[in-house]
């Protein structure tokens, strides 16, 4: 008598492989991935703000400090300059962290008035920043071959830069 694992291995060895085809993400749900999905880009692609607030130099952002509001960085429109000592930049969730800044002071911990921002609570280096590649880095395998694709997998594939997937028929 053979074991269940041995029987399973013999059955799988006797099966002919099924052909693969490329399908768009909208047609991929429930299909079995024929080739692994490797990220074409890092997510996030740069250091970005995790909160709405102010990009600051943490050393300047001590309680009671008043920082000059030097500009803003809406999502998709990075600030062209640098955050210099004593300055801050208005920043929004998903916005790229400008050079010179090393933390985000959340808006709830600040008071803006007449071109200046008062720091109500100090902030530590790295606070409220999502680092480049924190979710995954370019070149990383994000979905292994052989997986039956879920809605989550399809979202990950799209975020990784794959509008088409190689799946079994």
| Domains (range + CATH), the chain | 19-43+135-168 (3.90.105.10), 48-130 (2.170.190.11)
3-state helix, strand, coil in the chain (%, to 5): 15, 30, 55
Helix (H) or strand (E) holding 69: strand 66-73
pTM of the shown model: 0.80
**Cβ neighbour number for residue 33 with a 10 Å cutoff:** 21
Residue-level pLDDT, tens digit, the chain, 169 residues: 899 999 988 888 888 778 999 999 999 999 999 999 999 999 999 999 999 999 999 999 999 999 999 999 998 999 999 999 999 999 999 999 999 999 999 999 999 999 999 999 999 999 999 999 999 999 999 999 999 999 999 999 999 999 999 999 9
Tokens at 68, concatenated: 């000059």
Tokens at 10, concatenated: 């013999």
The Cα 154–Cα 163 span in angstroms is 9
The Cα 160–Cα 169 span in angstroms is 23
């Amino acid at each position: 008598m053979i074991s269940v694992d041995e029987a399973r291995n013999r059955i799988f060895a006797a099966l002919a492989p099924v052909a693969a085809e490329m399908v768009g993400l909208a047609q991929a749900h429930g299909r079995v991935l024929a080739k692994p999905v490797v990220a074409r880009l890092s997510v996030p692609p740069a250091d970005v703000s995790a909160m709405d607030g102010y990009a600051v130099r943490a050393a300047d952002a001590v309680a009671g400090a008043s920082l000059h509001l030097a500009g803003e960085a809406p999502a998709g429109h990075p600030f062209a300059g640098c955050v210099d000592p004593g300055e801050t930049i208005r920043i929004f969730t998903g916005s790229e962290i400008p050079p010179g800044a090393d933390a985000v002071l959340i808006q709830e911990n600040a008071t803006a008035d007449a071109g200046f921002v008062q720091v109500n609570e100090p902030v530590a280096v790295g606070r409220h920043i999502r680092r480049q590649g924190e979710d995954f880095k370019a070149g990383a395998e994000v979905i292994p071959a052989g997986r039956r694709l879920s809605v989550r997998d399809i979202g990950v594939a799209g975020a990784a830069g794959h509008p088409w997937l190689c799946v079994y028929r």
